[in-house]
Amino acid sequence: MTSSVNQNHYDIVLPDPILRTEFCGMDFASPISLLSGCVGFGEEYTRIAGFSNRQVGSICLKGTTGSPRLGNAPHRIYETPMGMLNAIGLQNPGVDKVVQDYLPNLDFTETRFIANVCGSTLEEYMDVVRKFDDSPIDAMELNISCPNVKEGGVAFGNDPDMSFRVVEACRKLTKKPLITKLSPNQTDIQESARRCIEAGTDGLAVINTMMGMAIDIHKREPILGNVQGGLSGPAIKPIALLKVWQVYQVARDHNIPIIGQGGIATVEDAIEFLIAGASSIGIGTGLFYQPLMCSTINAGIADYLRKHEMNSLHDLIGSLEVDTNREIKCG
């Protein structure tokens, strides 16, 4: 059952009330979160006729650094079979402009807005968190996949100790919810999740993009100006689903919710991630070719809950049945 309001001369269908949930203390109208880098700073997506932010629980803004960045040289986007490579390079106007010019234009009554915090040093992360803390932003997502320039370029998120230090330092600077975005490009994502939880994260986003590349066979050159880029889209869904389930084994004992993301494009995809342990489902690349998928996914999840006589999302989250006596082997 849905309801609607009239706004800007077209009907906006609101999510079914059964989809309302809480994430890190924030009220979400639905479990859908729009992912960082796919909807700019929140205002681009709302230009689509028939769309309302009320369709989603949260919108994660584009990655933001301390100072403005121009990003990588082109090409920066390349379509692959069942996915997309991107190497934008964190192009953004810097935290000061985002806080002063972008946030005042957002309607915080429609959805929750989450800032995506990036940095090349621990000090930069801390500076960005301080400035977002003194703003109306609802929460912050720590993008620890950024390269640490002081450690030779290794990503913060690929080292559990460095991940711990970033979360610990940022935790001391804000009481707003902190959600740490975990990279799949590491040896043990469960250990990384444990360390982030110990450091004080309120939630986890699982996963970031997989690293990949594409080659122009005629020029025998990399297609991306940065040589490598992050792979997203349906191609990475099975990997993301496994990582969500693995992290859930750690997070559930601490009541740490997960935004599950990576290749979600259908109602069935979304339900799988919820069953695996995600409390929210992140949609990103799919919006590029199906920008109005949110209402379809909301309706499908609500129908599934009622068909299976579930009273809320919480009855579905983490409901995967696995034989605990079964030995799970690699390969």
Contact by Cβ (8 Å): 318, 247:
no
Give the pLDDT confidence score for residue 7 in this predicted structure.
39
Whole-model pTM?
A: 0.93
**Lowest mean pLDDT segment, chosen from 1-10, 74-83, 113-122, 318-327:** 1-10
Q: Single out the residue of 215, 89, 208, 222 nearest to residue 157, CA to CA.
A: 208
The arithmetic mean of pLDDT across residues 117-139, rounded, is 97
For the chain, what is the mean pLDDT? 91
The partner residues of 319 in beta bridges, in order of sequence, read none
d(CA 270, CA 19): 13
Q: Which pLDDT belongs to residue 328? A: 74
Using the CB atoms, write b or e for 132-149: b if 16+ within 10 Å: beebebbbbbbbbbbebe
pLDDT score, position 151 = 73
Residue-level length of the chain: 331
Q: Is beta strand 228-232 parallel, antiparallel or unpaired with respect to 83-86?
A: antiparallel
Helix, strand or coil, per DSSP, at residue 79: strand
Give just the sign of the alpha carbon dihedral 33, 34, 37, 40: negative
Q: What is the pLDDT of residue 323?
A: 82
Name, in order, each residue with C-beta under 8 angstroms of 33's C-beta and a sequence gap of 6 or more. Answer: 56, 57, 58, 59, 60, 114, 259, 261, 280, 281, 282, 283
Per-residue pLDDT reduced to its tens digit, 203-261? 999 999 999 999 999 999 999 999 999 999 999 999 999 999 999 999 999 999 999 99
| Positive or negative: CA dihedral 276, 280, 285, 290 | positive
Radius of gyration in angstroms for the set of CA atoms belonging to the chain, rounded to a whole number: 19
Catalytic residues: 146
Set out the domains of the chain in order of their start, with CATH numbers: 3-63+89-209+231-315 (3.20.20.70)
What residues form DSSP beta bridges with 12? 5
The token pair that represents 322 in the structure block: 């696995």
105, 231, 269 from 122: Cα distances, Å: 29, 26, 36
- Average pLDDT over every residue of 107-114: 92
Give the helix/strand (H/E) hosting 289. Answer: helix 286-289
Residue 237 Cα to chain centre, angstroms: 14
What is the DSSP annotation of 191-212?
A: HHHHHHHHHT-SEEEE--PEEE
Report whether pLDDT(331) > 80. Answer: no
pLDDT in tens, 171-191: 999 999 999 999 998 989 999
